[in-house]
């Protein structure tokens, strides 16, 4: 048996951290040749006598720490039959984690919420002057985060969003599938989960509750297009490596209809109306309730006003308003559909509160932040709260900043860029990157990187003129401009 004196590097008692530290012990860290190499008498170190150690693949109550006395750190854990069991070697360093005081849990929960809060952008109440400072909802979520920390798993956040692409493909969006807007949005949500790891190693998980099924029939979008958009979102998250931090849940997933069978398009379409009916029957709000909420709650009224704004443009291209023969009749339809959407939105919120009560609530709608975090999915150069990516196109400026726009607003000033053969974003027109060279790809990447590489299967060198334009582009672009894959890529390196 190895008896080692080891420094205590954390004061947090958590199965996932035990697992992480044990892996460090097995695979790296500094070696200690004997217990005498470290003074066991100092408060910063403890002596460990190792008998058997394992690390199951998931944190659970299977960890038996009853044999870890308060005044010692002898670890005796029964070996589990798991491929993740570790072969313990002598003279390897391991971090020992001691049980914290209750105030440590509060401090950790507070630190986690500070990270989450940094991603928010909120409105100031009308009766308050000056800029918004801090996140008003932090105290509201303290108990939820503290409970999740005690369980030792990733901090779970719930975001009702990503329904479908707007039906208005004439003035607003360029197709029915996710594009650069969704890519940037997923990247930002993933980065939030990664940033939580700085203060809490298990990190975070964003559970996207895609709500398109609740609204598509109201605005005239088909269930087929709603499925295609959601499936495209899943594939995008997987291709970017975000599928561990971002989980997409459709209504039938949350209701439990897919617990035994993976969801496919056929089962999705067969369950669509059943799920809509079930949500409205069990959790449905009445129109009177919603109107009362709009009178009493400024955040609810903000959401309603947001619905009115996008419906005024969307319904002009929807069969829902095809029979409107005058502006007055059209506005009446817009308001009627907006109320229907509010009823379903508030019903869905009630449903999520019942099904996901411990999650931190995120929102794509501007709010005061009292009971949710309003998170801009796209960080704009202006700093303003953006349009949602499914109601807009992305315009990339020469300096690398993003703006969420209606496509009709930038057609004259920007070039429509394609990815995998379909429209993906708009790029400001400039001779610095409008090269008329189909073998050179410019790819915008989160947060504001511009990547240049040759088209797949092409061996190519950049010309002197192109290299000079890359140099000039770096002078105005606020983010990195990276050149890879060209035969003379080194010449284009920063």
Tell me how far apart the alpha carbons of residues 210 and 160 are, in angstroms, rounded to a whole number: 6
134 or 403, which is more confident: 403
Q: State the greatest distance between any 2 C-alpha atoms of the chain, in Å, as a whole number.
A: 90
Pick the residue with more confidence: 220 or 81? 220
> How many CB atoms sit inside 10 A of residue 28's CB?
9
Answer whether residue 34 shows pLDDT above 70: no
More confident residue, 49 or 478: 478
Q: Are 132 and 123 in contact (CB under 8 A)?
A: yes
Q: For residue 414, give every residue at least 6 positions away whose Cβ sits within 8 Å of its Cβ, in sequence order, or none.
A: 395, 396, 426, 427, 428, 429
Cβ atoms 112, 144 nearer than 8 A: no
Question: Taking 80 as the threshold, does the pLDDT of residue 50 lie above it?
Answer: no
Residue 205 phi, psi dihedral angles, 5° rounding: -135, 130
Q: What is the mean pLDDT of residues 125-136?
A: 69
> What confidence tens digit (pLDDT) does each residue in 56-73 have?
333 332 223 323 333 333
Contact 429, 415 (CB under 8 A): yes
Average pLDDT over residues 230-248: 97
Average pLDDT, rounded, for the chain = 82
Phi, psi at residue 10, to the nearest 5°? -140, 160
Query: Do 337 and 315 touch, CB atoms closer than 8 A?
Result: yes
Per residue in 324-350, pLDDT (tens digit) is: 889 999 999 999 999 999 999 999 999
Nearest alpha-carbon partner for 84 in 153, 149, 27, 14: 27
Is the CB of residue 32 less than 8 Å from the CB of residue 5?
yes
């Amino acid at each position: 048996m190895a008896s080692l004196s080891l420094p205590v590097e954390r004061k947090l008692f958590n199965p996932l951290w035990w697992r992480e530290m044990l892996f460090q012990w097995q695979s790296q860290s500094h070696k200690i040749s004997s217990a005498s190499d470290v003074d066991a008498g100092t408060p910063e170190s403890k002596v460990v006598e190792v008998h058997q150690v394992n690390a199951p693949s998931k944190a659970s109550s299977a960890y038996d720490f009853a044999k870890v006395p308060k005044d010692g750190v002898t670890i005796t854990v029964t070996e589990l039959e798991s491929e993740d069991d570790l072969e313990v070697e002598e003279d390897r360093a391991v971090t020992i984690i001691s049980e914290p005081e209750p105030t440590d849990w509060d401090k950790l929960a507070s630190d986690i919420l500070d990270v989450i809060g940094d991603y928010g952008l909120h409105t100031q109440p009308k009766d308050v002057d000056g800029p918004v400072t801090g996140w008003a909802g932090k105290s509201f979520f303290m108990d939820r985060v503290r409970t999740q920390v005690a369980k030792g798993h990733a901090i779970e956040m719930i975001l009702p969003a990503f329904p479908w692409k707007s039906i208005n493909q004439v003035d607003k969006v360029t197709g029915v599938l996710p594009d650069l807007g969704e890519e940037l949005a997923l990247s930002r949500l993933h980065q939030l989960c990664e940033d939580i790891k700085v203060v809490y190693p298990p990190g975070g998980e964003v559970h996207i509750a895609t709500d398109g099924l609740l609204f598509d029939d109201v605005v005239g979008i088909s269930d087929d297009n709603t499925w295609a958009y959601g499936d495209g979102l899943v594939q995008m998250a997987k291709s970017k490596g975000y599928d561990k931090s971002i989980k997409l849940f459709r209504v039938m997933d949350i209701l439990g209809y897919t617990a035994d069978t993976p969801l496919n398009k056929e089962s999705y379409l067969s369950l669509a109306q059943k799920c809509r009916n079930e949500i409205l029957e069990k959790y449905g709000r009445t129109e009177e309730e919603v109107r009362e909420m709009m009178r009493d709650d400024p955040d609810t009224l903000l959401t309603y006003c947001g619905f009115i704004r996008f419906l005024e443009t969307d319904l002009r291209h929807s069969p829902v308003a095809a029979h409107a023969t005058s502006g007055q009749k059209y506005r009446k339809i817009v308001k009627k559909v907006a109320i229907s959407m509010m009823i379903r939105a508030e019903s869905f919120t009630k449903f999520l509160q019942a099904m996901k009560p411990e999650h931190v609530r995120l929102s794509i709608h501007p709010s005061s932040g009292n009971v949710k975090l309003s998170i801009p999915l796209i960080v704009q150069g202006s700093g303003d709260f953006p349009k949602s990516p499914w109601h807009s196109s992305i315009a990339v400026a020469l300096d690398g900043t993003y703006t969420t726009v209606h496509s009709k607003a930038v057609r004259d000033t920007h070039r429509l860029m394609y990815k995998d053969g379909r429209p993906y974003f708009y790029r400001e027109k400039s001779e610095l990157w409008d090269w008329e060279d189909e073998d050179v790809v410019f790819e915008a990447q989160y947060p504001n990187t511009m990547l240049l590489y040759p088209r797949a299967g092409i061996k190519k060198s950049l010309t002197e003129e192109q290299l000079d334009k890359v140099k000039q582009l770096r002078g105005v672009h606020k983010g990195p401009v990276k050149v890879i894959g060209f035969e003379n890529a080194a010449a284009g390196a920063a």
